C-alpha cells in the first residue's frame, strides 16, 4: 500500500513556543497524525503538561526547554533532537510575543524583545536545522506569521506587525535559497484565534465587537482549524509549494 500524500507518520517535528496557545494545537495536530513531536519553549513545567497530555493519549511527544533567542540553546536543542531521533523532518517556528504600546511611548527594550523572539528566533532556528535538512535532501520549515504581517490594524503593536512582516520576507528568501535542496519553507498567517495573547481582546466586548466586524465569517478561529494546514505543510502533499504564506483568517485580510 502506498503512503497517503498527507501522511506525517514517524516524521520528527520540532515545534517552538509549544507550551501554550497555537503551538499546543499544532503539536497536537501533528502528533495525532502519527508524527513524533518535540515541544520546545522556555517554560518547561508547562511544556511537560502538554507533552504528558499528548503521551496519555498514546502519542509520541517530548518536552525540551529552549529559549529561541539564545543561539547556543537553539543549537544544542536541535543537535540533541537529531542525535536522539536520527533526523529532523519538520521545524515549526511558532514562538512569539508582543508589546502593546503607542509607538511614541514604545521602549527600545520592548521593541528588541519582540523582534528577538519573533524574528531573530526564527532565523536562529532555521539556521540550526538547515545543514541537517540539506544533508537529508528533504525538510519542511513552517514559520508562523500573522495576518498582521500582511496588513495594518488599529492595535498599537508596531514590533509585532514588523516582526510578522519580517517572517514573510524571511520565508520567501529562505525558500528560494533552499528550493534546490528539496527543503520547503512556508508560512502560516493565522487571523484571530484564542491564545494567551488574544485573551484580553476576546474578553473585552468592545474590542471583540470591533475585531469580528472586520472578519467576514463573523467568528474567531477555532484552534483545531489550524491542524489541517500544519499537517498539509508537513506532508508530501505540499512538496511543490515553497515560499508561500497560507492565510487562515476567516476572510479578515480580504478587504
Partner 1 sequence: MISGKTLVALRKSEDIERIISFLNRMGQHPHLVFTMLEFRDIADERVAKFSNIKPHDHLHEDMSGFEFELSQIPYRAEKTPASAFVEEAIKKNCDSIIVVSSGTNTLFRTDLASTLAVESPIPVLVVQQ
C-alpha 106/C-alpha 191 separation (Å) is 24
Please identify which residue in 8, 12, 14, 25 interacts with partner 1, judged by CB under 8 A.
25
DSSP state of 43: -
**85: closest CA among 7, 137, 12?**
12
Contact between 196 and partner 1 by CB under 8 A: the answer reads yes
Per annotation, catalytic residue among 160, 161, 210, 240: 160
C-alpha 189/C-alpha 93 separation (Å) is 12
What residues does 38 pair with on adjacent strands? 14, 62
Site for partner 1 in 206-225 (CB under 8 A): 206-210, 212-213, 218-220, 222-223
Contact between 56 and partner 1 by CB under 8 A: the answer reads no
Strand order through the sheet with 36-41 = 60-65, 36-41, 12-16, 90-93, 139-144, 183-190, 245-248
Q: Which three cell numbers stand for residue 48?
A: 511537560
Count, residues near partner 1 per rule CB under 8 A: 30
Contact between 195 and partner 1 by CB under 8 A: the answer reads yes
Nearest approach, Cβ of residue 20 and partner 1 (Å): 7
CB 121 within 8 A of CB 68: yes
Q: Which stretch binds partner 1 (CB under 8 A): 35-43, 83-91, 104-112, 204-212?
A: 204-212
Q: Is there a catalytic annotation at residue 59?
A: no
Q: Which stretch binds partner 1 (CB under 8 A): 47-55, 60-68, 117-125, 175-183?
A: 47-55
Mind telling me the catalytic residues?
160
Could you list the residues that contact partner 1 (CB under 8 A)? Answer: 20-22, 24-25, 49-50, 53, 154, 194-196, 198-199, 202-210, 212-213, 218-220, 222-223
Amino acid at each position: 500500500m502506498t503512503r497517503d500524500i498527507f501522511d506525517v507518520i514517524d516524521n520528527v517535528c520540532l515545534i517552538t513556543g509549544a507550551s501554550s496557545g497555537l503551538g499546543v494545537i499544532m503539536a497536537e495536530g501533528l502528533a495525532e497524525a502519527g508524527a513524533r513531536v518535540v515541544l520546545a519553549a522556555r517554560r518547561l513545567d508547562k511544556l511537560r503538561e502538554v507533552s504528558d497530555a499528548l503521551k496519555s493519549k498514546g502519542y509520541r511527544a517530548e518536552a525540551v526547554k529552549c529559549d529561541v533567542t539564545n543561539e547556543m540553546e537553539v543549537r544544542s536543542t536541535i543537535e540533541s533532537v537529531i542525535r536522539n531521533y536520527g533526523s529532523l523532518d519538520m521545524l515549526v517556528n511558532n514562538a512569539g510575543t508582543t508589546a502593546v504600546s503607542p509607538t511614541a511611548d514604545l521602549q527600545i527594550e520592548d521593541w528588541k524583545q519582540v523582534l528577538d523572539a519573533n524574528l531573530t528566533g526564527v532565523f536562529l532556528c532555521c539556521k540550526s536545522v538547515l545543514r541537517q535538512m540539506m544533508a537529508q535532501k528533504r525538510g519542511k520549515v513552517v514559520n508562523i506569521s500573522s495576518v498582521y504581517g500582511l496588513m495594518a490594524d488599529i492595535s498599537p503593536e508596531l514590533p509585532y506587525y514588523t516582526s510578522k512582516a519580517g517572517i514573510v520576507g524571511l520565508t520567501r528568501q529562505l525558500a528560494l535559497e533552499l528550493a534546490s535542496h528539496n527543503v520547503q519553507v512556508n508560512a502560516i498567517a493565522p487571523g484571530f484565534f484564542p491564545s494567551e495573547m488574544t485573551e484580553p481582546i476576546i474578553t473585552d466586548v468592545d474590542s471583540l465587537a470591533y475585531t469580528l466586524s472586520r472578519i467576514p465569517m463573523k467568528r474567531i478561529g477555532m484552534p483545531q482549524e489550524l491542524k489541517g494546514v500544519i499537517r498539509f505543510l508537513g506532508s508530501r502533499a505540499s512538496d511543490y509549494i515553497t515560499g508561500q504564506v497560507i492565510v487562515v483568517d476567516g476572510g479578515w485580510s480580504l478587504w
